[in-house]
Amino acid sequence: MKKVILFANPSRDSGLTCLENVKKIADGCGVAYDVIDIANHTGPLDNGADMAVTFGGDGAILRAARVLCALGTPILGVNLGHKGFMAELEPGETSLVALAFQGKYTVENRMMADVSLFHEGRQVLRDFALNEAVVRGLNRVIGVNVYGDGRRIMGFDGDGVIVSTPTGSTAYSLSAGGPVVEPTARSIIVTPVCPHILSARSYVLSPERAVTVELRQLRGKAAYLSVDGGDSVPLFSGDRIEIRRSALETRLVRLTGKSFYENVNSKLGERL
């Protein structure tokens, strides 16, 4: 390995202690590095790096994925957050980064989703998600219809709906009552948020499905779209949000041999 990106995260890495430890490891392995502030970098990034290391929770990995997935750059996460489902290492395991810099790692590919917003029949936004696309009312109940390949799946009044990837199944979708899906699976999960009917339940769909969320009449209520926890985009009556499997994938570095089941049991509080 010749070069890596180290995504600095001062808000999570107090005194940049973990960053400095990894810089020393890189120096010892003869690996060059660029240090980039993850909070202030938004555009594409192509500096020829063989790997990126993030410091923080899943949010840090989500931000790194947005600028790196088109390049296929593997991402190694060091968890300095609360749950950190996607991160491979805990703070006390940073010495293992040396194995990654020596090429002794595997890569886990994660499905992503393309998200398109249509207003009055015209596409006004295109984005992509590693976790989910969320349609929600702003402190008010809204009405939505959900379709799969143009066929109606459900319609309900409620707080909104989450359309997630398997990676996102352990994020907001899980809190809303959705299923835990193995992250290397290929599927699209549709989870209603506080629906006002008993029949509205979470669906796990084929990755080939094109899911459409349609806003009913809002009657002056505010609603928004958020992709991977990003900026809220205002929505209007009749707007359609289309979500489908992306050609892009996020590549996560694996070093420790921890299973997904171990992570779920540990990070969701179960002690065996």
58 is an active site residue = yes
Q: What pLDDT score was predicted for residue 258?
A: 85
177 Cβ partners below 8 Å, 6+ apart? 191, 202
What's the pLDDT tens digit per position in 236-266? Answer: 999 999 999 999 999 999 998 888 888 888 8
Of 102, 100, 127, nearest to 42 by C-alpha is 127
pTM for this model (two decimals): 0.93
Distances (CA, A) of 50 to 1, 29, 84, 252: 6, 14, 23, 12
Say which of 34, 37, 50, 58 is annotated catalytic: 58
Of 181, 158, 183, 147, nearest to 258 by C-alpha is 183
What's the pLDDT tens digit per position in 134-188? Answer: 999 998 999 999 999 999 999 999 999 999 999 999 999 999 999 999 999 999 9
DSSP symbol at 89:
B
What integer is the mean pLDDT of 64-86?
90
Q: What pLDDT score was predicted for residue 8?
A: 93
Of 83, 262, 260, nearest to 172 by C-alpha is 83
CATH 3.40.50.10330 fits 3-105+255-267, yes or no: yes
Superfamily designation of domain 112-248: Probable inorganic polyphosphate/atp-NAD kinase; domain 2 (2.60.200.30)
pLDDT over 90 at 45, yes or no: no
Domains of the chain by residue range: 3-105+255-267, 112-248
